[in-house]
Each structure stands twice: as structure tokens, then as C-alpha cells.
Amino acid sequence: MPLSIRLATLNDAEGITEVHCSDVNRWYKIVNGRKVEAKYDELTVEDRFRHGGPWMSVETCAIHLNYMLTSGQYPIIAELNGKIVGELELYIGEDRGVLGKTGFIDILYVHRDFRRRGIGRMLIAKAQEIAVSEGCDTLSVWPEEDAILFYRKCGLDKVAYRIVNLSIDLKKIEKVHAEYEVLPFPSRYDMLRDFHLITPRIYSSFAAWLKSRWEIALRSFKIKFFEGYSAYPESTFIIECWREDKVASIYLWLKDESYILDMLCWLLWKAKNMGFMKACILINDHVYDYIKNKLPVNMLGNEVILMMKIKEKGYHYS
């Protein structure tokens, strides 16, 4: 039976979990704050999640798939002789800026026993086909460093954004006297359609908004401490953290980018008052050039968002 590429269903959760677990050689659980090697069957759902996210157990993978499918997004699988051997997750949505309407590749994973057979390329080809059918301007991805060449060879050969990964020492953040009325976080993305995603600038704006709405009942992991919308300056924001890291992650959308420094300072001051010592932001290089001498930042690294311009290639739209 030849390799087939299709949209996943909830029945595929076990096979997708097997793909993502294929690279784990040693499993461990946390006992009295220490890592202790254990068998997979001895782990709790939280222990499994700790090894790589919702794909590491059938329970959380099924929840994640359900979120994607009910949101009209595209978990795509590669299947060979009835066995799932790869998965790609594609998010279709708007982004103000160079991406436009984009198909954002968030996950691409091939079982380690089936690599170097062209499966990843076939999954990307399917993602491109879907992006074309959805009328997207671009196909985009935030690649790991060792995968950049692969994506370029697959046609995602243009740099959409150069990203700077920053850690901010909150002990050095000065008191902010301004205060803004905080309204409920937007329940519909069309309320953010004209906003710029400032951080984390590693997703499409739509994917960042959508994924921020999804939660799995593992309270020892991601926790939202503060989120909302401000009418002036028009902005939307989230402060959250992964419990084990104890570092605040900042999400910020702005309608007017001239308020970047004001809103970042306000959010960092909020995070400091919540007891965090550090915060993480991922911004494009132009924003970094603007704030680097105004905030106590420590550069952790550089990354890129790659894209393929679909409409410029003259693809046919049905």
C-alpha cells in the first residue's frame, strides 16, 4: 500500500502519539522534585507531557486534535501500510504584515524509523495545497535551526521575520505609574484583525491567539496570570508561565506600534509585581533595535520565520 496523506481524526491520536514518542530513549518521572527513570506505563499524564507536550500521551493528544479540528484547522498525517509515520499541523489565519493570510506550519514530525524517505516533503506539499485552496498569501514556518535548510529546499526560502529571543531581568524594571482599564480578552479573532503581533513573533497572529485559548487540565504546567484588552492604547495581552521554568512569557498585540515601549514596560512591571524574576519576549529585529537600550534585555539567540509567497507564484485558486 503506497504512502497516503490525509486529514487526521480523533481515531489517529494513538498513532500520532507513537510518532512523537519515537525519539525518546529514556523516560522519567518526578519524585520529590527529582527526575527518576521509569517505564512509559509508570508515568502520569503530566510526566508524559513533560517530555514534549500534548502529543506524548493519547489523552492529551486527543484533546489537542479536538481543538484543532473543531477550530477548522488542519492536523495532517502520513500513513504507510496502515501505520501513521508522520504528522504536520497547519493553521490557516490572518496576520497583519508580510505574512498576510497564511498557512502556518506549527508542527512537522516524522517517526524516526521512517525518515529520509521524502515523507516530510510530501506533508509540506499537502500543506501548500491546502494553503492554496484557502486563498492564502503565504505558507510560513518557525523552523528549528537544523531544519532551516530542509524548509528552504521545500520552497519556504524567504525570510519573513528575523526574531530575537530575549530574557528581561525584572529586578531592573522601574515602577510604571500609568494604569490602563483592563477589559475581557477578545473572544473572536476579528477583534484583533487590524492589530500587530509584537510578541511572541514566532507564530502567525491568528495561531498565537487561537493557541492561547486552548488549555489542558494540567495545572502544574502553563498558567495564565493576567490577560485582557485595553481600549487605550488599543492592545491585547497575556502574561503566562510554564510552572517549571518560573519565567513569565509575554504576549502583546497592538493596533499602533508606537506604543510598544509603553505597553511592554507596563506588562513587565505587572509581571514583576506578580513575583516573577525574569520575563521572555520574542520580537522581530526592528523592535529589538528600538528597545535594546531602553530595557534590561539579555539576548538569548536569533531565529527566523520562513515563508513561501503563494500568490506571487501564480497558483490557481478554485
The whole-number pLDDT of residue 317 equals 39
Residues 93-134: pLDDT tens digits?
999 999 999 999 999 999 999 999 999 999 999 999 999 999
| Residues 6+ positions from 9 with CB-CB distance below 8 Å | 65, 69
| The model's pTM | 0.94
The whole-number pLDDT of residue 318 equals 35
State CA 191 to chain mean position distance. 20
Kindly report each contact of residues 255-262 with a partner whose C-beta sits within 8 Å and lies 24 or more positions away, as own/partner. 255/194, 255/195, 255/196, 257/196, 257/198, 259/233, 259/235, 260/198, 260/287, 260/290, 260/291, 261/290, 261/291, 261/294, 261/295, 262/178, 262/233
User: Given its phi and psi angles, is residue 134 left (phi above 0), alpha (psi -120 to 50 degrees) or beta?
Assistant: alpha
- Within the chain, which residues score under 70 in pLDDT? 1, 219-220, 243-245, 312-318
The whole-number pLDDT of residue 215 equals 87
The whole-number pLDDT of residue 312 equals 67
